[in-house]
Amino acid sequence: MGNPILSDDGVGLYVAERLRATTLPDGVDVRQSEVAGLRLLELLRGYDKVVIVDALQSGREAGEVVRYEARDFTGGHRYSSAHSIGLETALELGRTLGYDMPSDVTVFAVEAVDVETFAEELSPPVAEAAERVIALVRAEVGAA
Amino acid sequence: MKKVTVDPITRLEGHGKIEIFVNDAGEVANVYFQIPELRGFERFCVGRPVEELARITPRICGVCPEAHHMAASKAIDAVYGVTPAPTGVKLRELLYNTFFVTDHATHFYVLAGPDFVVGPTADPAERNILGVIHKVGLETGGAVIKARAEAAELISIIGGKQIHPVCGLPGGVSKALSAEERDRAVEITASHVEFAKFSLQLFDDIVLGNNDYVDLIKSDAFTHSTYYMGLVDDNNHVNFYDGKVRVTGPDGAELLKFEGKDYLEHLAEHVEPYSYLVYPYLKAVGWKGFVDGKDSGVYRASPLSRLNAADGMATPLAQAEYERYFSTLGGKPVHATLATHWARLVEMLYAAERAHELATDPDIINPDVRTLPTGIVGEGVGVVEAPRGTLYHHYKTDDQGMVTNVNLIVGTTNNNASISMSLKKAAEGLIKGGTEIGEGTLNMIEMAFRAYDPCFGCATHALPGEMPLEVTVKKERTQEVVTTVRRYL
């Protein structure tokens, strides 16, 4: 996930692009999405397992890679936002409506330096982290 | 009063920040509203072929890319001095109205719905789309998802991509509609008309049928008498894709009606030292501060504004709803900010009806969808109504069509001054000396802000995707923090 013209916000899309060029096991699809919220629901339906890569700003060291399981998002923060809904709410909404939502959702988040400047390049720590994430995702989906 | 300097570090955190200052008596002295600004968009576009901007600008916003795509396509037509092929225009308009249906539906059910359907002071854990479905039932929830999914399908058919349409080209669109695709479009748009009617009924039952909500909508805390802006066709009916910009006053009289390309003659920007936001205002009236009234150049652009600025809707069912809306709320213009949510549903019905009109027009499958440009003017303005307000794209190029300058006024920018005013008024109405400032109070203040459905999408990208917001109440004299409420931080 991400935005291709907001510097480090494009890291997820970059990783997906690179993954596409590798050999992946059968049944693994690589998708790129530039939106979040309710539109996520439509993208995730029908899959058993989903691995998401995205940028993060949380005060960590630039380039740090954090792994979340979808259950890590639950508890408390389900406010109505001014503009969208989050991953966890989308998942729960899908389940509530009886849709076939993935039971296994993993997120690899890369701590970004800059997600506000219009640019198509990643900053060096994030570009470096992207390499690590590519390997992590491949391992996660059982690629050799 | 002490001058407030906003720490620029907040800009890097990527969240919205509302600061409420209270005096010693516990009453609201002032409210400041901050959103970080995106940097360098103009720089980023310079040197690129102008037709690429129709694919780049949608990426400013992940929620309304279609609006940017349309404004860009129109600006690019103007840069090349080409009148787009009529069927190309119809296809753009069909896509665009379908987008309005889904976008307005999303806002109402997911973003506004929780306040009205579940209740503004309800437990936050319930005050979201899940709480809404709990209240209205799974069937309704399913209907919302279906409407969105079908809209996405139709947008994809015409636009080429589900999320960011790529069909707009100088002089028209890239692809004609097949008869089969048209049949699907007829089905989907008919279904959307029913969905829009259903949503208005729901609003009637749940919101208008509840006296507390009606009182809230009509309350002074959520009312501002400003000027109103919206695009209208030659009959002064609301049109999202094209028309002239019309501005009406707090008394309902028409102040201005201008071609989009002349926007700089009528709009100017005011700047404040504490904020990165710009505050557009009407030159004809002048900047008089963050105040209401006929003598203040502050104006609003939103569903509320569009209904005020127009004389009616171009489709029959929506027109009937338009009349009912105004007669219920006491005539034109309506100044109650929260009525925006109702106005949004009236617009949704128009969008669905209009899309259906276009889908059933025999000309919609005409293969002639593009007129090739034969020259270049080098400058163009494209104006559309984005769901959140009038959207202006202004481009300048060299004689090869390479971009030299870009200026954008996005929907929400029009409302920057009013949002600040709405926040302040809501805070004043709700926070008095001795008020226990809890989460419920702060949510109600946020409701004033949420009615504008502010679009600061990209600047607020946070995992897992909500817009982080921090509302802080401070003592004016000492700057001491009384309480802070954070969302997603």
% of residues, chain B, pLDDT over 70: 90
pLDDT of residue B166: 92
pLDDT confidence bin for B35, thresholds 50/70/90: low
Under DSSP, is residue A52 helix (H, G, I), strand (E, B) or coil?
Answer: strand
Beta-carbon separation of A33 and B124 below 8 A: no
Residue B280 belongs to some domain of the structure = no
The alpha-carbon radius of gyration of chain A (Å, integer) is 15
Range of the domain at A62: 7-140
Nearest CA in chain B to A76: B125
Q: Is B230 within the bounds of a domain?
A: no
**Same domain (yes/no): B343, B468:** no
Q: Quick check: is B286 in a domain?
A: no
Residue A1 lies in a domain: no
Q: Please indicate, yes or no, if residue B118 is contained in any of the structural domains.
A: yes
Q: Tens digits of per-residue pLDDT, B215-255?
A: 888 888 889 999 999 999 999 999 999 999 999 999 999 99
User: Is residue A2 included in any domain, yes or no?
Assistant: no
Q: Are residues B15 and B112 in the same domain?
A: no
* pLDDT per residue of chain A (144 residues) written in tens, 0 to 9: 888 888 999 999 999 999 999 999 999 999 988 766 677 787 888 999 999 999 988 889 999 999 988 766 554 333 444 345 677 778 888 888 888 999 899 999 999 998 878 889 999 999 999 999 999 999 999 987
Residue B190: CATH number of its domain: 1.10.645.10
**B22 and B48 housed in the same domain:** no
Among B39, B124, B463, select the one facing A56 at the smallest CB separation.
B463
Asked if the structure places residue A108 within a domain, the reply is yes
Query: Which sign, positive or negative, has the C-alpha torsion B409, B415, B421, B423?
Result: negative
Residue B274 near chain A (CB below 8 Å): no
Q: Are strands B227-232 and B299-301 parallel, antiparallel or unpaired?
A: parallel
Domain identity same for B67 and B29 = no
Concatenated DSSP letters of B151-180: HHHHHHHHHSSSSS---EETTEES-PPPHH
Looking at beta carbons, which residues of chain A come within 8 Å of B446?
82
Based on the structure, what is the number of domains in chain B? Answer: 2
Per-residue pLDDT tens over the stretch B304-334: 999 999 999 999 999 999 999 999 999 999 9
Q: How many pairs of residues across A and B have Cβ atoms under 8 Å apart?
A: 162
Q: Scan residues 456-485 of B and list those with Cβ closer than 8 Å to A.
A: 456-467, 469
Q: Tell me, what's the pLDDT at B106? A: 85
- What SS3 class is residue B286? coil
Q: Specify which residues B238 forms β-bridges with.
A: B232
Note whether B29 and B101 are same-domain residues: no
Q: Which pLDDT score is estimated for B6?
A: 35
CB contact under 8 A, A57 and B462: yes
- Segments forming the whole domain that contains residue B422: 9-36+415-487
The alpha carbon torsion through B409, B410, B415, B416 (nearest 10 deg) reads: -80
User: Do B22 and B99 fall within a single domain?
Assistant: no
Angle between helices B129-136 and B138-159 (to 10 degrees): 120
Touching A: B residues 28-47, CB under 8 Å: 36, 38-41, 43-44
Q: What pLDDT was estimated at residue A83?
A: 47
A84 contacts B454? CB cut-off 8 A: no
Question: Is residue B109 scored above 80 in pLDDT?
Answer: yes
pLDDT in tens, B458-480: 333 333 334 556 778 888 888 88
State ipTM.
Answer: 0.73
- Half-sphere exposure of residue A123: CA atoms within 13 angstroms, side-chain side: 19
Residue A132 lies in a domain: yes
Considering the domain boundaries, does residue B239 fall inside one?
Answer: no
Flag whether A16 is in a domain: yes
B187 and B123 together in one domain? yes
Cα gap B76→B52, rounded to integer Å: 9
Average pLDDT for B30-49: 77
The residue of chain B nearest to residue A38, with distances taken between CA atoms, is B106
pLDDT at B226: 96
What is the CATH classification number for the domain harbouring A79?
3.40.50.1450
Are B91 and B204 contained in the same domain?
yes
**Residue B248, pLDDT score:** 98
Each residue's pLDDT tens digit, B160-195: 987 789 999 999 999 999 999 999 999 999 999 999
**Which of B34, B44, B56, B129 should one mutate to test binding to chain A, selecting the residue with the greatest count of A CBs within 10 A?**
B129
Interface touch A86/B466, C-beta < 8 Å: yes
